[in-house]
Amino acid sequence: MAPIPLLTPYKMGRFHLSHRIVLAPLTRQRSFGNVPQPHAILYYSQRASKGGLLIAEATGVSDTAQGYPNTPGIWTKEQVEAWRPIVDAVHKKGGIFFCQIWHVGRVSNYTFQPNGQAPISCTDKPIVSKVRANGVDVPRFSPPRRLATEEIPLIVNDFRIAAKNAIEAGFDGVEIHGAHGYLIDQFLKDQINDRTDQYGGSMENRCRFALEIVQAVVDEIGADRVGIRLSPYTAGDSDPDALGLYMVNSLNKFGISYCHMVEPSMAKEGEKVETPRSLLPMRKAFKGTFIAARGYNKEEGNKAVSSGYADLVAYGRLFLANPDLPQRFELDAPLNNYNSSTFYTPDLVVGYTDYPFLC
Ligand SMILES: Cc1cc2nc3c(=O)[nH]c(=O)nc-3n(C[C@H](O)[C@H](O)[C@H](O)COP(=O)(O)O)c2cc1C
């Protein structure tokens, strides 16, 4: 029998993956007080497999990075210590674990900010429509404060420290969250970024913040431990094709491990929509490992890998509901349905660690 493309091995730089089914980053809002909790040990280890790549949920880089209740951070010693047993459990099962490091920017409100201050962003324009592409609970947003030019290196440094902390916690690497309308994406998009300094205006200027973060993180932990997630097609840019291409060409200079791109269909909420756009030009231009995500089932994932459209495919909702997803794909077994009403509830078991295994 011909091998199942998703279940063939792949070498991602220093990491030997035994299959190409990646756990997409999934915010679960069960990290009380921004500290990862022991129940995440079971959740992540359930989804770990020997040689399988897992990406942890979006994890705040600082006390201004938050915009949702109970999301984890990685800027304090307590948070680093709390991540350690979770990472250890994934490693014990042979998994490779990257931490998605995150700043929400203006997707926040006063109640999430230190001293009730305004959220920070590249702009002082408030959000006019909801940003969350997958969300159930749409938070109310406060008008942001525009970062001064001289403050920007401080935020870059927060990402650097978060990456250092992630390695200290035992993670194999970090994924810089440059997608979905959060801080980095706010800088990238020409309909959000209205700056007149060297961080706004031209494509080069709008991408500067993201690329300075990549540089800082690469310098800190090494390019082979760095990935980035981008979603040029989520709302906010007049020319997402050009933006995506500019970014991957710029990323090539750093030799980072992977670029993780969200399919254009993510631009629309709900079910997959047909779009003439494709990630293929970016896939072709990027020299490292290319991960595609959004709306994939087994057949489409296999097609993406066998046709060379992607090296790896990240699965979100299917992996959330099927902790043994690689095994189910291998056996062509039926899948559990996901229950979106428990995606973000604080229950430590229901909708979190109680999705059944095949056996
Ligand atoms: C519950 C939930 C939480 C998510 N949290 C994150 C996140 O923390 N970071 C991120 O980049 N994307 C996040 N996403 C997007 C997913 O990573 C993924 O791109 C999306 O679910 C589409 O893939 P799918 O069709 O395989 O589910 C989330 C999606 C869901 C459903």
User: What are the tens digits of pLDDT across the range 13-33?
Assistant: 999 999 999 999 999 999 999
The phi, psi pair for 315, rounded to 5°, reads -115, 130
pTM reported for the whole predicted model: 0.95
Predicted pLDDT of residue 1: 75
196 alpha carbon to ligand 1 midpoint, in Å? 33
What residue owns the CA closest to ligand 1's atom 22? 294
Q: What is the pLDDT of residues 144-179, one digit of tens each?
A: 999 999 999 999 999 999 999 999 999 999 999 999
- 323 vs 217: CA distance, rounded Å: 31
What pLDDT is attached to residue 267? 39
- Distance from the CA of 147 to the center of ligand 1, in angstroms? 28
Active site residue 182: yes
Which atom of ligand 1 is found nearest the CA of 100?
9
**pLDDT above 60: residue 131:** no
Our answer on whether the CB atom of 352 is closer than 6 Å to any ligand 1 atom is no
Confidence bin at 287 (pLDDT 50/70/90): very high
Q: Do 45 and 93 contact (CB within 8 A), yes or no? A: yes
| The pLDDT of residue 309 | 97
- Percentage of the chain modeled with pLDDT above 90: 91
Ligand 1 pocket check for 294: Cβ under 6 Å: yes
User: Is residue 315 in contact with ligand 1, taking CB distance under 6 Å?
Assistant: yes
Residue 197 CA, ligand 1 centroid: distance in Å: 33
Atom of ligand 1 nearest to the CA of 229: 11
pLDDT at 130: 56
Task: Name the residue with the closest Cα to ligand 1, atom 2.
Answer: 26
Query: What are the Cα distances from residue 311, in Å, to 7, 112, 251?
Result: 11, 37, 17
Ligand 1 within 6 A of 317 CB? yes
For residue 359, the model assigns a pLDDT of 83
Catalytic residue chosen out of the listed positions 43, 182, 199, 309: 182
For residues 91-119, average pLDDT? 97
Residue 266 pLDDT > 60: no
295 lines ligand 1 (CB under 6 A): yes
Beta strand pairing status for 226-230 and 21-23? unpaired
Share of the chain above pLDDT 70, in %: 94
Average pLDDT (291-298) is 96
Would you state the structure tokens that stand for residue 135, as one six-digit string?
Answer: 């969300």
Q: Could you tell me if the CB of 123 is within 6 A of ligand 1?
A: no
Task: Specify the 3-state DSSP secondary structure of 88.
Answer: helix
Residue 88, pLDDT above cutoff 70: yes
Question: Which residue has its alpha carbon closest to ligand 1 atom 4?
Answer: 26
Ligand 1 neighbourhood includes 316 CB (under 6 angstroms): yes
323 lines ligand 1 (CB under 6 A): no
Per-residue confidence at 136, pLDDT binned at 50, 70, 90?
very low
Query: Is pLDDT of 271 > 60?
Result: no
More confident call, 120 vs 266: 120
Q: Which residue has the higher pLDDT, 44 or 132?
A: 44
Q: What is the pLDDT of residues 176-220, one digit of tens each?
A: 999 999 999 999 999 999 999 999 999 999 999 999 999 999 999
CA 94 / ligand 1 centre spacing (Å): 23
Q: What is the pLDDT of residue 161?
A: 98
Establish whether residue 89 lines the binding site of ligand 1, counting it when its CB lies within 6 angstroms of any ligand atom. no
Q: What is the pLDDT at residue 2? A: 84
**What is the per-residue burial (b if ≥16 Cβ within 10 Å, else e) of 142-170?**
bebbbbeeeebeebbbbbbbbbbbbbebb
Ligand 1 atom closest to Cα of residue 175: 11
Average pLDDT rounded to a whole number, residues 98-109: 98
Write down the pLDDT at residue 269: 46
Specify the residue with its C-alpha closest to ligand 1, atom 6: 26
How many angstroms separate the alpha carbon of residue 21 from the centre of ligand 1? 15
DSSP string, 123-181: -SPPP-S---SS-SS----PPPEEPPGGGHHHHHHHHHHHHHHHHHTT-SEEEEEE-TT
Residue nearest to atom 16 of ligand 1 (CA): 316
Q: What is the 3-state secondary structure of 150-166?
A: HHHHHHHHHHHHHHHHH
Q: Which atom of ligand 1 is nearest to the CA of 58?
A: 8
Q: Is the Cβ atom of 343 under 6 angstroms away from ligand 1? A: yes
Task: Tell how far the Cα of 357 is from the centroid of ligand 1, in angstroms.
Answer: 21
Query: For residue 339, how many other CB atoms are within 10 A of its CB?
Result: 14
